[in-house]
Amino acid sequence: MLIVVFVVFVSIITMQLVAIFTTDAPFVPVPNKTEDDIIKSLELKPGSILYDLGCGDARILIKAVQKHPEIKAVGVDVGFLPYLLAKFYTRNHKNIEIKREDIFETDISEATHIFLYLYPKVINKLILNIQKQCKPGTRIVSCDFELDDISPTEIVELNTTSLRGKKLFVYNL
């Protein structure tokens, strides 16, 4: 039994290391302390459709539907381990859908709200797709990283000592 646990552990670590060096968006979760601020900044309402592009373990989606059970939430992640974690953690949430897809190719046209915790080069590449697919008024919240060519409508300074999760950049299309 110990050997099986060790093999699974080594496999998970290996997959994560491969993802760090071979994907645009490795799985790095937002700090727990920032979750409530993220949900507040999204300004979700009944009927909102929230997309988390690069959703990781789906913690933002779970927190969002716990606070706003009348929304639909969709998580997209191409990484195998984050996808499995997200599917497992959201298994009891009927209003959360998890997709294992490339964030640059997934259909996000129904999104009213988008959350991003991605590296700057990724969000700056992704914004073109968001602008093409999403309707005017779509609200975007990016944790820590600002878009190059669009001015945020709001910058939220977070009260944290963490090295991550210090600012939220809010945009409206």
What is the span of the domain harbouring residue 135?
2-172
19 or 147, greater pLDDT: 147
- Would you place residue 2 in the very low, low, confident or very high pLDDT band (cuts 50, 70, 90)? confident
Q: List the Cα angle 73/144/47 in 5-degree steps.
A: 20
- Residue 116, both tokens: 């991003």
Give the single-character DSSP code of 34.
G
What's the pLDDT tens digit per position in 63-96? 999 999 999 999 999 988 899 999 999 999 999 9
Structural domain tally of the chain? 1
pLDDT at 112 over 70: yes
Cβ proximity of 76 and 49 under 8 Å = no
Give the single-character DSSP code of 147.
-
Question: How many whole angstroms separate alpha carbon 62 and alpha carbon 16?
Answer: 22
- Would you place residue 126 in the very low, low, confident or very high pLDDT band (cuts 50, 70, 90)? very high
- Structure pTM? 0.85
pLDDT, position 22:
46
133: CATH: 3.40.50.150
Task: Look at residue 112 and give its three-state secondary structure.
Answer: coil
Residue found under tokens 């697919």: 133
Cβ proximity of 20 and 52 under 8 Å = no
